[in-house]
């Protein structure tokens, strides 16, 4: 037990894999890798003050991280990058003099954050694809299971359990498309110098601008970014507005997940669909022993609310980047980006758990459907009245409305639904076998829509992101 505050994101939420991406260890290793790539590229392009042996020593020291030494340096120098330069230099024999040559702090800070963001996005995309996959299996399995549709949380025209699932899937499809777009458009800062003019590198290469441009391209390629993903102009930092669009895209996960989780909570209250209990020993309430609460879905909604609240933060940061840069983005981003990705990661993992454990109470679904069925067929009765009896559509609709209200009032008083009896007595609806109409399902093309959506939209996603 610690006497210091520990963020729930450190020990409660998020996968170990995602938390490692944003760990101090991985950040420092990424910084060192970037310094190695910088020095190696400069040496390859003819900088005589850098030897292959110095580059080799740097590479050998990438994993030799002394966090205590780094902290000691930073406590004296009040600069984390300089502290890391000194600690990295201490881990080599001869390379210390050429580490960070011509670079500014943002060479490692911004570029490392971009690499970590890329790695995080890939993880989120794969997990989103797994959710789409799991929900799609659920949708196909329940494609033809009729259920009460709900608009305004009131009974509406029927749909199917599977068709409803396609609405959840569609939100995640939109999300994965946007995340993929952000990943494809992710911009690497490269080696641009202190104010983005590359003046220090131009001096290093004795005025050879071609080598400066080549260095920028080579470094980007060595860490997995093509030229099209290399930011063309910067001040000191990557454009902070890029962070704003990135966070907005990641927050789509929260929006899609919260919609799903809220729907499951509603359906759980109707006893139609539940998230499933994790084990037979799981306790729902400390007082009410019978309770089976949708706690995972509630957690999804809770974390999603917090994640969505972070959207406006990077827009403010982007708006307040004075001229070539100011430092009031730095402390903010240290908190923002890890939180955004770890929260999204936890939300997706929780989603996957619910998707795999979801339980459909088919008897309850059928019971609720049957109770509302007389109301469901009323639109079809209006259509038949017009077709068979040349009735006025508006008059037929008004008559059905009055009869439905009378029947619903009766139901609300605890009596049986006698809407069909009331309709059958009206002259306007003669020659219509209303009772026979109760034998049909009124789910339209729900089953076909579900199957077609999975086949045309989900199948390509499965092929692109999943090894199925």
Cβ–Cβ < 8 Å for 133, 231: no
d(CA 216, CA 67): 30
CA separation (Å) from 36 to 43, 107, 360? 10, 12, 55
Helix ranges (DSSP H) in 91-160 = 105-141
d(CA 314, CA 329): 9
Q: Angle, nearest 10°, between helix axes 52-60 and 24-44?
A: 170
Q: Which long-range contacts (CB under 8 A, 24 or more apart) does 200-208 make?
A: 200/102, 200/103, 201/102, 203/102, 204/42, 204/47, 204/101, 204/102, 205/45, 205/46, 205/47
Reported in sequence order, the residue ranges of 200-342 that DSSP labels E, i.e. its strands, are: 273-274
Query: Which helix H or strand E contains 360, and what residues bound it?
Result: strand 359-360
On the CB side of 316, CA atoms within 13 Å amount to 9
d(CA 184, CA 121): 10
DSSP letters for 55-70: HHHHHHTTT---HHHH
Q: Which residues are catalytic?
A: 152, 285
Q: What are phi and psi of 162, to 5 degrees?
A: -70, -40
Q: Angle, nearest 10°, between helix axes 241-269 and 312-319?
A: 170
d(CA 138, CA 172): 15
d(CA 432, CA 389): 9
| Secondary structure of 380-422 as H, E, C letters | HHHHHHHHHHCCCHHHHHHHHHHHHHHHHHHHHCCCCCCHHHH
Cβ–Cβ < 8 Å for 161, 147: yes
Kindly state the tokens that stand for 352. 């996957």
């Amino acid at each position: 037990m610690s006497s210091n505050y520990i963020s729930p994101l450190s020990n409660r939420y998020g996968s170990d894999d995602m938390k490692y991406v944003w760990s101090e260890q991985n950040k420092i290793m990424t910084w060192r890798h970037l310094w190695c790539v910088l020095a190696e590229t400069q040496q390859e392009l003819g900088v005589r003050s850098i030897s292959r042996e110095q580059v080799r020593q740097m590479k050998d020291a990438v994993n030799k991280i002394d966090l205590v030494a780094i902290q000691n340096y930073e406590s004296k120098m009040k600069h984390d990058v300089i502290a890391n330069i000194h600690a990295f230099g201490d881990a080599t024999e001869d390379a210390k003099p050429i580490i960070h040559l011509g670079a500014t702090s943002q060479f490692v800070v911004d570029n490392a954050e971009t690499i970590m963001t890329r790695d995080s996005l890939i993880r989120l995309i794969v997990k989103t694809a797994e959710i789409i996959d799991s929900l799609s299996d659920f949708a196909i399995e329940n494609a033809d299971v009729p259920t009460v549709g709900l608009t305004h949380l009131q009974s509406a025209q029927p749909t199917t359990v599977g068709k409803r699932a396609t609405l959840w899937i569609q939100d995640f499809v939109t999300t994965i498309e946007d995340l993929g777009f952000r990943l494809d458009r992710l911009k690497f800062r490269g080696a641009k110098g202190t104010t983005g003019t590359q003046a220090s590198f131009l001096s290093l290469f004795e005025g050879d601008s071609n080598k400066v441009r080549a260095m920028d391209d080579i470094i980007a390629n060595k860490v997995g970014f093509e030229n099209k993903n290399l930011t063309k102009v910067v001040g000191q930092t990557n454009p902070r507005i890029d962070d704003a669009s990135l966070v907005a895209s990641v927050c789509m996960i929260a929006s899609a997940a919260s919609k799903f989780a809220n729907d499951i909570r509603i359906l759980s209250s109707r006893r139609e669909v539940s998230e499933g209990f994790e084990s037979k020993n799981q306790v729902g309430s400390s007082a009410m022993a019978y309770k089976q609460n949708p706690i995972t879905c509630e957690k999804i909604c809770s974390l999603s609310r917090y994640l969505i609240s972070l959207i406006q933060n990077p827009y403010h940061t982007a708006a307040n980047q004075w001229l070539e840069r100011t430092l009031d983005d730095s402390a903010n981003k240290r908190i923002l980006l890890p939180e955004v990705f770890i929260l999204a990661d936890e939300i997706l993992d929780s989603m996957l758990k619910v998707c795999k454990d979801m339980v459909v109470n088919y008897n309850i679904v059928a019971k609720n459907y049957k109770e509302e069925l007389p109301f469901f067929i009323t639109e079809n009765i209006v259509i038949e009245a017009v077709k068979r009896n040349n009735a006025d559509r508006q008059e037929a609709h008004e008559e059905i409305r009055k009869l439905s209200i009378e029947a619903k009032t009766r139901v609300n008083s605890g009596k049986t639904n006698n809407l069909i009896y009331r309709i059958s007595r009206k002259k306007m609806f003669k020659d219509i076998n209303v009772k026979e109409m109760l034998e049909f399902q009124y789910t339209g093309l729900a089953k076909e829509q579900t199957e077609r959506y999975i086949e045309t939209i989900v199948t390509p996603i499965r092929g692109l992101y999943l090894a199925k």
